[in-house]
Amino acid sequence: MFKMCSVVLLTFVVVRSAYAVVPHTHKIVESVVAPSEWINVGSAPADHIIPLRIALPQANFAALEEHLYAVSDPAHERYGAHLSKAEVEALVAPHPDSVSAVDTWLSEHGILNKRMLDTTFKIFKHKKHGDEIVRTTRYSLPPHLHPHVELVQPTTLFSRVRRRREAVHSVVQAYPRDVRSAGTITVTRSDGSTMTVDASCNATVTIACLRQLLNIGDYRASGTNGNQIGVAGYSEEYANYEDQQIFYRDQLPEAVNSSFTYTLVNGGKNDQNFNSDEYQDDPDMQTVLGLVFPSPGTFYSTGGKGPWIEDSDTPADTVAAYGAWLDFVLAQEKLPQTISTGYESHEQTIPEAYARRVCAGFAQLGARGTSLLVMSGNGGVGDANGDPRTQSCWTNDGRHKRQFLPAFPASCPFVTTVGSTMYVPEVATEFSGGGFSNYWNRPSYQNNAVAEYLTKQLRGTYAGLYNPNGRAYPDVAAQSINFRIAIYGELTAAGGGQQATAAFAGLVSLLNNARIEHGKPPLGFLNPFLYSSGLTALNDITSGSAQGCGTPGFSATAGWDPITGLGTPDFSKLKDLVLAL
């Protein structure tokens, strides 16, 4: 991710309060205005230490991207021939000139001299919450270094962490279980086929319900063939062992006394204290492991914050340390074939250089054969953590322009983004995130599907509120509300985009298990397959809309739409397709 082939991964710099003026040798890289929520309360102590990450350009990323699409396209002769760790690292290694230039620069300054960035760090205090951080509003580098350094952080980036639990609980409260729950319901699929689902799944979604809704049937994973699944957790939110056992006793007795691997990343913790009020990754782990048992599972507890530019409307939000997590997992020789993560932020609050670097790291995962599933969001077309029915949406670039707010990492073209559905038959939820990126152009694999939606369905509606040329999301969807899970030692209900993502990830892990059992490589990056031959195994969702920004938002329609994507998966059909590849 931010490595320089084992050279200067993390540089520790002593902050000096004296301003170093070197106008003839430095040129500004970035200059910002501190967000109004942060107050400058004075110079940082001269002995304060900040760990700086210096990111060098990945010289051959274009070649990596070509490899990624080749091994992910079912029509390509190289489909499934994923790259090794060493092959990927060779492609993304910085140019030797960049390494040499940065090494020389650091050596000249002894790393301890603040003139290296020609800046002064200050202490900023958050008005409402009282948090204090050490930051600067601008930094510079010698002009000859600009082609060799993508970013240096944390410097100009102001951040706070808002955990997921508010969004999770609001989703549960917004959808009372007052629907038909007795008998059975016959569901007609997109292809005209029918399936029968227990009506109780309308009110409470269990693993048994998911197996019906996803048409998994009696298929079971192996615990010994090497298939694995991972869940990436951030923001001091954890998975609890005892909650997992309560869940198993309630829904999967054969799994009782089995567990998962807990991996700590970047100062992450394994907090098992029921009083911590920090177990919002419990639902994710319970859902994925409930579907894939006995395949092994890993929970990554990642500490730290990622860089952040505040919104005027949402000064506090989830700030996931994606870069730190990627540094860790990409350094491993073996990776889970499937990984789920249920975190998101407004795309505009993630500095574009950092977002692009993280997205490039996700591409490395895909090239190595890992399927990464991320959620589309819980705020419709706007606020990632607010009520989609009442939010207003504004840009944070100084223009204060009304605009739909795409989410990250949902908007990265190298991940599979999952939208939200509910009830039986399934309809889109009004909180399901969806939209169009302002950072990435639409990838070729979704050109036909999205172009048809824009010309035949949207037809100019909301012009100016979104980027019609941007990467569109979500790609697919799954059930998202009234999941029966265990938190804080008790069975309760949970819901949100993270549940849909976990459910879809569990299904993908079962598909990977089937391929491994037949001597085939894992699926890796899913989107080229889903937008081509995989379409026939997805059930189109045509009812429901995602509200937000003072508008009715996008509606689910025939074909791809920016609320449920291509639709919900049919495991049995997908299994037949992926085994034929």
CATH number for the domain spanning 409: value is: 3.40.50.200
pLDDT at 345: 82
Look over the chain and give the mean of its residue pLDDT values, rounded to a whole number. 84
Between 386 and 104, the more confident residue is: 104
120 pLDDT higher than 90: no
Residue 234 lies in a domain: no
21 pLDDT higher than 50: no
Is 420 in a helix, a strand, or coil? strand
pLDDT at 166: 43
Residue 230 lies in a domain: no
Residue 364 and residue 435 in one domain: yes
- The residue segments making up the domain with residue 541 are 165-219+336-580
Name the band, by pLDDT with cuts 50, 70 and 90, for residue 107.
confident
**419 token code pair:** 């939208």
CB 336 within 8 A of CB 366: no
Residue 1 lies in a domain: no
Residue 69 and residue 199 in one domain: no
Last residue of a domain, one of 105, 130, 153: 153
pLDDT at 280: 66
- Section 189-214 average pLDDT: 93
pLDDT at 26: 78
Residue 149 and residue 198 in one domain: no
Q: Supply the DSSP symbol for 454.
A: I
Which of 162-166, 248-252, 373-377, 424-428 is predicted least confidently?
A: 162-166
- Section 301-316 average pLDDT: 57
**438 token code pair:** 């302002």
Residue 386 and residue 429 in one domain: yes
Cα of 511 vs its chain's centroid, Å: 21
Q: How many CA atoms lie within 13 A of 224 on its CB side?
A: 0
Write down how long the chain is: 581
Residue 44 and residue 129 in one domain: yes
Residue 122 and residue 48 in one domain: yes
Angle at the Cα of 302 from the Cα atoms of 299 and 307, rounded to 5 degrees: 145
Helix (H) or strand (E) holding 353: helix 352-367
| Whole-Å CA distances, 204 to 170, 200, 209, 291, 557 | 17, 6, 8, 16, 26
- Section 234-258 average pLDDT: 92
pLDDT at 3: 32
184 pLDDT higher than 90: yes
Residue 458 lies in a domain: yes
**Percentage of the chain surpassing pLDDT 90?**
53
- Section 382-389 average pLDDT: 57
Name the band, by pLDDT with cuts 50, 70 and 90, for residue 171.
low
User: What is the C-alpha separation between 175 and 289, in angstroms, rounded?
Assistant: 25
Q: What is the pLDDT of residues 312-358, one digit of tens each?
A: 444 333 445 888 899 999 999 999 999 999 888 888 878 888 889 89
Tell me if the bond preceding 474 is cis, omega within 30° of 0: yes
Residue 322 lies in a domain: no
Residue 145 and residue 181 in one domain: no
557 pLDDT higher than 90: yes
**376 token code pair:** 């589309």
pLDDT at 129: 67
List the beta bridge partners of residue 264.
301
Between 66 and 117, the more confident residue is: 66
Residue 457 lies in a domain: yes
- Section 525-550 average pLDDT: 94
User: What is the C-alpha separation between 487 and 239, in angstroms, rounded?
Assistant: 9
Residue 46 and residue 170 in one domain: no
Residue 196 and residue 108 in one domain: no
Residue 490 and residue 389 in one domain: yes
CB 306 within 8 A of CB 198: no
pLDDT at 470: 98
Tally: H helices and E strands in the chain: 13, 28
**13 token code pair:** 């710099």
Residue 126 and residue 196 in one domain: no
Residue 41 and residue 128 in one domain: yes
pLDDT at 409: 93
Residue 52 lies in a domain: yes
Q: What is the pLDDT of residues 60-101, one digit of tens each?
A: 889 999 999 999 999 999 999 999 999 999 998 887 777 777
12 pLDDT higher than 50: no
Total number of domains constituting the chain: 2
Residue 88 lies in a domain: no
Last residue of a domain, one of 108, 126, 153: 153
Is 578 in a helix, a strand, or coil? helix
